[in-house]
Every structure is written in C-alpha cells, then in structure tokens.
Amino acid sequence: QLQFVESGGGLVQPGGSLRLSCASTGFTSDYYAIGWFRQAPGKEREGVSCIGSSFGNNKYEDSVKGRFAISRDNAKNTVYLQMNSLKPEDTGVYYCARRRDSGLCGGWNLDDYVNWGQGTQVTVSS
C-alpha cells in the first residue's frame, strides 16, 4: 500500500521542540513535493509546511515561519519537520502527504495532495 507513516509526536511544554518524521512506504517520494498539515480539534486541516523536490522550494504557513524547519533525506524516503518554540496553538494531529504529480509546492488545497498518513499527535501544554 502506498502511503506515508508519520512519527515523532508527543506531549511537550510550551517553548519545547519536537522533530516529526514522514516516511514513505511502497513508493519513492523523491520526485514529489511533500507537505505537512495539521488538524486541531474542531478545526479544519490546514497546511503547515511543504518541501519541493528541488533545493530551495520550501514553503511555510505564516504562524510557523522562523520556528519550524522542513527537510528531506531522499536516501531514506523521509521528510522531517523540526518544530521549535512550540506554542499551545500548535497542538493537533500532524499529517504528511505528497503533492499530486508535482515536485513543486503550491497552495494548501487538500485535494492537491495524496497518500495521506494516519497522523501523529502533537500536544503543547504545561
């Protein structure tokens, strides 16, 4: 089955850090842009960050700029999201998915992304 597996979530205090991993299973994700999304309770899923297949094509949602960093290791078919200076409003289930048929990051339209994983829970609380 072609999908991503997210890991690395957990409970952290405000100001803390987590690194999330997104590993592809059953396919090579090198050629596609990969996006991270999150969904807080009672809210719609929203885009957080995206990394393109080429160097320099990264994108961040405004609220995480300067705090989150996305990277990829194509040899491991894995994309990472380093999250620093976490805030309670960062709480949610974090998902990754690949951009449909494109190596470029575009908008945050969920229909443009496929092979969604099951998500990993991030809770920021004191």
Q: Are 6 and 117 in contact (CB under 8 A)?
A: yes
Q: Encode pLDDT of 39-84 as tens digits.
A: 999 999 999 999 999 877 899 999 999 999 999 998 899 999 999 9
- When comparing pLDDT for 107 and 25, which is higher? 107
Indicate if the pLDDT at residue 121 is higher than 90: yes
| 80-102 average pLDDT score | 96
Question: pLDDT band at residue 1, thresholds of 50, 70 and 90?
Answer: low
| 16-31 average pLDDT score | 88
Indicate if the pLDDT at residue 27 is higher than 90: no
DSSP secondary structure of the chain: --EEEEE--EEE-TT--EEEEEEEESS--TTS-EEEEEE-TTS--EEEEEE-SSTT-EEE-GGGTTTEEEEEEGGGTEEEEEE-S--GGG-EEEEEEEETT-SS-----GGGEES----EEEEE--
Least confidently predicted of 24-28, 107-111, 122-126: 24-28
